Structure 1
């Protein structure tokens, strides 16, 4: 089976969900900004970053869990989209009883880690922050391996589809993820997970 990495579409979200439900395990699809996109398979460093972030969150906020199994989110306000963040922070057991695609209500933070591909600029730095802001997710964390920075987006404006505040720190500095997350990260270890 050949899957196109990107295809501009006028398809209904229900049609996308039907296609996504039949995809093989080796393919992960998203529907963002009217496009079907294949999400890159994470490399080992990508997975280590998510594991590290899970540990930090568990240590400081044992009431929360960073779901990193490709939890599907409905990013409705953004062209009836469907996204699979690299991580979704919510209360433990928040997604119990949910299907493949969950409403973003109750999600405290969406996490993305950049991949080394040509779509990173558009997908991870533009479309995903806009989608998560439009969905009202309070905090979006972008671990930008190309730039060697951690970007924290806060104060979503769902009407306009952007985050009002953006805070960037280079790997090696400490960053605090604000309410409702309340986790402080020493980002020095991230230097080990870049090319």
Structure 2
């Protein structure tokens, strides 16, 4: 992806303009204007700009929100479906989970990003274009960032699965519970909820 200024062209010189160019993926992320309809993240040192998911992908993320609605109301928690940036505490890398569960007083990095160490849970819905990032790259990022629980909904696995990752230590989740989609899986503390994953396979 090539970013170009909308102003008149200018000549870059090593002595002047180069010093103002973003030096890291994080700095480039911060320099980007709002990109409606696109997801922008930094994963494994790469700035990734991708389209939002399919309607089926968005539907599953919304179903996670719906399943936790009563619990959220009871405990005063906030749920965000694919529309909030999370800053991984430590390296300060930005990601955009498909679903985020957070307390109302979750600390922030700047105005727009929730700090990962203040979250209760994140969820990712795997799509064909996100297999490597969601299955391999993001779990250790969330664990290292202090996210207590990660939910991974994988409708493209054969058979489809739902995985709960918890007990983060030294940048890895120590407890991994995977069930076939359609089964009930327990989401441990701080959530403490039995999730009926059959809702993800209903039409």
Which of structures 1 and 2 has the larger relative contact order (alpha carbons within 8 angstroms, sep 6+)?
1
Deviation at 1:90, TM superposition (A): 1.1
Give the TM-score taking structure 2 as reference length.
0.79
Which of 144, 148, 152 is the aligned partner of 1:138?
148
Alignment of 1:4-153 (within 5 A): 11=24, 13-19=26-32, 22-62=33-73, 63-77=76-90, 79-92=91-104, 94=106, 99-117=111-129, 120-147=130-157, 148-153=160-165
SS of aligned partner of 2:100: strand
Please name the residue that 1:6 is paired with: none
Q: Which has the larger radius of gyration?
A: 2
Do the aligned residues in 1 keep the contact of 2:116 with 2:145 (CA within 8 Å)?
Answer: yes
Alpha-carbon distance between aligned partners in 2 of 1:13 and 1:2, rounded to the nearest angstrom: 16
* Structure 2: gaps of 5 or more residues: 4-21
Preserved CA contact (<8 Å) 2:43 2:95: yes
* Aligned position for 2:15: none
SS in 1 for 2:102: strand
Q: TM-score, normalised by structure 1?
A: 0.82
| Residues 68-115 of structure 1: CA deviation (Å, up to 9, x unaligned) | 1421111143x4411010111012464799612221232000110011
Aligned-partner Cα distance in 1 for 2:108–2:146: 21
Flag structure 1 segments of 5+ consecutive residues without an equivalent: 4-8
